[in-house]
Amino acid sequence: MKTPLTPLDLVRRGLNLYPNNVAVIEPHGPQFTYREWGARVYRLARAVQAAGYSGKHVAVLAPNTHGGLLTYAGVPWAGSVLVPLNTRLTPEEYAFQLRHAEVSLLLVDHTLYEKVHGVAPALGIEVWGMGGEFDHEFEARLSAQDDSPLPIPVQDEDDTITINFTSGTTSDPKGVMLTHRNTLLNAIETLYYFKADSDSVYLHTLPDFHANGWGGVWSPFGVGATHVTLPAVRADAAYDAIEQYGVTHLCAAPTVLSMLTDPKSSRKVERQIRVATAGSPPHARTIADMNNLGFHVIQVYGLTEVSPLITVAELSAEQEHLPIERRAPLIAKQGFEMILAGEVDVLDEQMRPVPHDGETLGEIMVRGNLVMKGYYRNPEATEKALAGGWFHTGDVAVTHSDGRVEIRDRNKDVIISGGENISSVEVEGVLYAHPAVREAVVVAMPDEKWGEVPCAFIALHEGKEVTPEELTQHVRGHLAGFKSPKHYEFRDDLPKTASGKFQKFILRAELWQGKARGVN
């Protein structure tokens, strides 16, 4: 009686149990009940099969639209592997990923068609446009198919359901093979910690292509919740959707939280909204600002290679009732392993757990059911990432006396100044506490005496001013003097990936041009 684990089973459950619930809403666009959504899922699956792409790799390039969301169920239901593509790449980068993933069919939103209209055909890839000028053609393609339920085609839960590319900041991106088993377990965890149910309304502020929206492309369907897609993530659009549709849940990188808390655009919400944040360590001040606006923030942590979430900043009942000034620093730590994450530990170079002293540095490593199948067509990188039977995250962390894990930096982002290790995340956290600072990124810059020293790139809140001297005085009030930035660069905005992570390598490259450290 054993059946393969797959997140499609969550979608199947939602379609069967909640036919009259609203499944998907696109602001300024259509909305669908679960019954209508199911018909679209089955029709897309049959269209992919009829075109001869069952069992092959099918890519999707779309912002958070109803058409893009449809592919996460419709394509795997056809028995195909879905390849979600980042919406902010160049044609050259798309060519690499489409070729490397051996894609046969590309579904692309009309707003992004120009980026790939020459690339895909040159690789022999068929292209189906969605929305806009392609809407009639796409809808006709669906209407030509039967909308009766299809059985889930999964035969082996360890088969690949998606190939998700890493950002590739220092080398070619790698295609992470996630399985049906990986993604279902992650989606169940998401539901558990998010406390979602059939009355929930989930706003897609996180790019769906980013590790399958942290499972959000599947999990809300399992409990009959409503998805609200958000093609362009702006503070005004997010707040408008929150107010119009009664949003109860959203996921976002800390940079999006900074956008929502910016005084020029922030609004107090009428009902508490549960927010999961990850992508880079959030700062206590940002969490406190969100709380004061009515959002309940939980921090989760992970990587695409672990499906992607493995820890949660879980609080005890007593800690939940602490004043936000004391609660926010606890939420800002990565916390404890999730219930289905397997083993998550901080290990030293000999693969031994570090002491629980909050000081000894090690690397976060994982082994369990959420670890990827491997990197597609890259056995060398797979072997390196899984050396010693653990997945190596590359994140430097400590373990506190209560077992709570706290990231101190990425391996490549630790600043080694005169033999002293400086956590860029620690310095950034202090800078964020200054009322004028909207965004702060700290990287190493070359120094003749110390080898390298901290440099801070700063974006200020609109209408605010602060001098480098004032910022240095602020930092030295909280940290040892050698940790304070020796140089400040003020920018209107700081470079980020489409999922909201700061691109430190770009800023570091500016400082190290022609010098040895570079971006490695």
pLDDT in the model for residue 172: 73
Of 376, 410, 444, which residue is a domain's last?
A: 410
Identify which has the larger pLDDT, 14 or 497. Answer: 14
Statement: residue 62 has pLDDT above 60: yes
**Arithmetic mean of pLDDT, 141-168:** 94
Indicate if 401 and 456 belong to the same structural domain: no
User: Are both 133 and 166 inside the same structural domain?
Assistant: yes
- Residues in the chain, overall count: 520
Highest mean pLDDT range out of 55-59, 325-329, 515-519?
A: 55-59
pLDDT-above-70 percentage for the chain:
98
**pLDDT tens track for 232-278:** 999 999 999 999 999 999 999 888 998 999 999 999 999 999 999 98
Q: Let me know whether 84 and 105 are in one domain.
A: yes
Q: Report strand pairing: 309-312 vs 336-337.
A: antiparallel
CA distance linking residue 320 with residue 89, whole number of Å: 41
pLDDT at 168 over 80: no
Same domain, 374 and 464: no
What is the reported pLDDT for 93?
87
Residue 171: pLDDT over 70: no
Residue 421 bridge partners (DSSP): 416
Q: Average pLDDT for residues 193-219, to the nearest whole number? A: 97
The CATH number assigned to the domain holding 101 equals 3.40.50.12780
More confidently predicted of 281 and 358 = 358
**Nearest-5° Cα angle at 234, 463 to 335:** 90
**433 lies in a domain?**
yes
160 in the same domain as 88? yes
Q: What's residue 173's pLDDT? A: 83
The whole-angstrom separation of Cα 405 and Cα 400 is 6
Distant-in-sequence, close-in-space partners of 209: CB < 8 Å, separation ≥ 6: 60, 62, 68, 84, 85, 86, 87, 164, 498
Question: What is the model's pLDDT at position 519?
Answer: 34
In a domain, 180, yes or no: yes
Both 47 and 160 in a single domain? yes
What is the per-residue pLDDT for 248? 98
Single residue among 385, 410, 435 that ends a domain in this structure: 410
- Is 89 found in the same domain as 235? yes
Domain span at 391: 342-410
Reported confidence tier of residue 170, pLDDT bands at 50, 70, 90: very low
pLDDT tens track for 417-457: 876 778 898 899 999 999 999 999 999 999 888 889 999 99
Does residue 302 fall inside a structural domain?
no
Distance (Å, whole) CA 135 – CA 418: 60
Residue 426 located in a structural domain: yes
Reported pTM: 0.87
Residues 372 and 240 reside in one and the same domain: no
Which domain-ending residue is among 410, 430, 458?
410
> Is the bond preceding residue 308 a cis peptide, omega within 30 degrees?
yes
Environment class of 503 (CB within 10 Å of its CB; exposed 0-12, middle 13-18, buried 19+)? middle
Decide if pLDDT at 497 tops 90.
no
Are residue 366 and residue 428 in the same domain, yes or no? no
- Tell me, yes or no, whether 354 and 419 share the same domain: no
User: Taking 60 as the threshold, does the pLDDT of residue 495 lie above it?
Assistant: yes
Within-domain flag for 486: yes
**Predicted local confidence at residue 169, as pLDDT:** 44
pLDDT in tens, 365-413: 999 999 999 999 999 999 999 999 999 999 999 999 999 999 888 777 8
CATH number at residue 386: 2.30.38.10
Q: Over range 84-100, report the average pLDDT.
A: 92
Would residue 23 count as lying in a domain? yes
350 and 242 in a common domain:
no
Mean pLDDT of the chain: 94
Structure token pair of residue 325? 């000034």
**Domain identity same for 64 and 31:** yes
Burial of residue 509 (number of CB atoms within 10 Å: 0-12, 13-18, 19+) = middle
Q: Is the residue at 309 inside a domain? A: no
DSSP-derived letter for residue 385 is H
Helix, strand and coil content of the chain, in percent to the nearest 5, comes to: 35, 25, 40
| HEC string for 332-361 | CCCEEECCCCCEEEEECCCCCECCCCCCCC
H-assigned helices in 101-147 = 113-116, 119-122, 135-143
Residue 66 has pLDDT above 90, yes or no: yes
What value does the mean pLDDT take over residues 68-85?
98
User: Residue 479: which CATH number?
Assistant: 3.30.300.30
Structural domain count of the chain:
3
Considering the domain boundaries, does residue 373 fall inside one?
A: yes
